[in-house]
Each structure stands twice: as C-alpha cells, then as structure tokens.
Amino acid sequence: MGLKPSGEMYLKTIYILTKKIHPVRSIDIAEYMNFSKPSVSRAVGNLRKDNYISINDEGHIFLTPKGLDAAKSLYDRHDVLTKALITLGVSEETAANDACEIEHIISEESFEALKRHIKDK
C-alpha cells in the first residue's frame, strides 16, 4: 500500500466517516480522532499528494478510487482482526485497540491465513 501507519489510520477514519456523514471535512476527522487541526491538515495534505483523496473548493474530502481500495482493505483487516481477538476471549474494547496496532504490521500472508481460519470456523 505504501502508507505509513498514521496515514493508514487517517484513511480508515475518512472511510468510516464517509459511511456516517457526507461530505467529510478536516474538522470531522479531527473530532473523530481527537487530533489537532494542524495534524489533520498535514496528514490530509499527504493523502491528497499521494492521490488517496481529493478535496473540493469547499474543503470536502473524497476518497479517490485508489483511496477507497486502500481504505476498504484497511477496514477489512481491522474488522477481521477484531473479530478474531473477540473469538479468543478478548474484550471488545481491547480487541479493537489491539487490532488497530496489528493491522499495520501483519503480513498479507499471515492476514489471509487468519482470515481463512476464521472463515472455516
């Protein structure tokens, strides 16, 4: 994917927010993530530069096809990992928090094997 973990988190957040509110603005991202507006502005600029998002004249943020594909993949990883941890007896809150960490470092091979294992259960 080529994104750093922080960029992945922003992209996933934009995807989640797009499902809830439309259009998404930088302030929405800042409030959701509890980050400062300058931090969000910097991250949004990087995502735009790398063609993951576009921003119109009103400041509304949209996922590009590249961004949507990446965000869906990240969201899927988070969802599968969270469910796997809950299945193992981890609390929902801890599972979601741990999934946020694991989703950035797990290899594609390990993730696909875990996904197959969960599906077979």
Rounded Cα–Cα distance for residues 95 and 32 (Å): 19
Give pLDDT tens digits for 65-97.
999 999 999 999 999 999 999 999 999 999 999
Mean pLDDT within 94-121: 88
Domain that holds residue 15: 5-69
**Residue 8 half-sphere exposure, CB side, CA atoms within 13 Å?**
20
On whether both 36 and 59 belong to a single domain, the answer is yes
Kindly report, residue by residue over 9-38, the tens digit of the pLDDT.
999 999 999 999 889 999 999 999 999 999
Give the pLDDT confidence score for residue 121 in this predicted structure.
61
Are 56 and 84 within one domain?
no
Quote the pLDDT of residue 58: 95
Query: For residue 1, is pLDDT > 70?
Result: no
- Domain co-membership, 91 together with 115: yes
